[in-house]
Structure 1
C-alpha cells in the first residue's frame, strides 16, 4: 500500500492592522489554517491571543472579530505577521519552509511612530532577526523588541502565566486607566 505524501502549499499573511496613534506592533509568524479559513487573525478557538488582549484591556472577550480588533484599537496596538508568505503543511511554525518576509522597510517608513515590536513567540522574533534585521531592511537600533510567550495552544504554559508575562512586558504600552474622582 502506497502512502500518500502531502505537499506544502504556500500560505499568505493578512494586511496589517494599524490604528491611529499606534506606537507598538505585535508580530506573529504566519496565519494558521483556521485563521486562513476564516480570514481573521488568531481565529483558532484555543489560541490565547484574543483572551490575552481582552484581559490586558480589562474588557470581556468580544464574540465578534470586529469587537476583538476594537480592543487593539483601544490600546493603539498594530498587528501583523513577520512573513508575507511561506510553504507550510498545517499550522505549525516548525513546518514553515521558504519564507518571504513582509515589506517592513515600507511599513516602518509609512508608520514612523511605531518604534516597539512585540513578538508573539520566539519563532516570530527569530524570523524577524533573520529576514528583516540581518539583511538591513530595518535598523536594529530603531526598534525596541519585546519577547512574549506564544499565544499558540501548542505553547503549553498556562494562560495565567502567559497573561502575567504579557502584562509585565506590555504595561508601558497600555493606555492609562481613567481614575475615579470622588465628589467632595
Structure 2
C-alpha cells in the first residue's frame, strides 16, 4: 500500500502595505522542511528581489529577508494549498488543492500586481481563479521560475534576473537614498 506524500503550503507573508503578491506553486522539500519561502540555498528568488530594489546581496537571516520584502510592499504565497508530491519538482505535483487567492485579495486590497513565479504557479492561478473578479482587477504577470534548474530560455540567475527586472520595472518604485 502506497504512503501519502501530501504536502501543505506555508502561510502567506503579507501586510496592509503589500502591493505586489509573488506567487509560487508549492514550496520544495528544502523550503517546507525549513518552513521558509525560497529556502533552497540555490533558488534565485531572494537575490532577484534584492536586486530589483537595488539592495545588493540578500540578508542571511530569513526574518530579515521577510522584513525586507514587506518593507518594499511585497507579499509571498503559493497557488497550491496542498498536493501529493514526492520531491520538489512542479511536474510531480498531483491532486493540487488551490489556495484562496481571491480571499487574500479581498483581505489585502492594496495588492495591485500578482507575479506568478513560473508556469505552474500561473497555470494553477488561471485554472482555479482566472475568472474571479478579485484576480481580474489586478495585473497578473507570468515570470520565469526562480528555481535553480535552468530552462531553454533562462539558463541562470543573470538571465532570470534580467527578465524579472524588465517585467517589474513599471511596478517597482525607484530607490531613493537619503
- TM-score for both structures, normalised by structure 1: 0.87
Partner of 1:53: 49
Q: Does 1:41 align with 2:41?
A: no
Q: Deviations over 1:51-100 (max 9, x none)?
A: 11121122222111012112212320111000101000100000000000
Partner of 1:160: 158
* CA distance 1:138–1:73, change in 2 (3 Å): same
Partner of 1:121: 118
Shift of 1:172: 2.2
Q: Does 1:143 align with 2:138?
A: yes
Aligned to 2:88, which of 86, 91, 96?
91
Is the contact made by 1:75 and 1:173 (CA closer than 8 Å) also made in structure 2? Answer: no
Unaligned runs of 5+ in 2: none
Q: Distance in 1 between matches of 2:51 and 2:177?
A: 19
* CA distance 1:8–1:154, change in 2 (3 Å): farther
Q: After the TM superposition, which segments of 4 or more aligned residues of structure 1 sit over 6 Å from their partners?
A: none
Any idea what SS the aligned residue of 1:146 has?
strand
Q: Distance in 1 between matches of 2:24 and 2:167?
A: 16
- TM-score for both structures, normalised by structure 2: 0.89
Of the two, which has the highest radius of gyration?
1
Aligned to 1:110, which of 104, 107, 110?
107
Q: Distance in 2 between matches of 1:8 and 1:151?
A: 27
Q: Distance in 1 between matches of 2:87 and 2:132?
A: 29
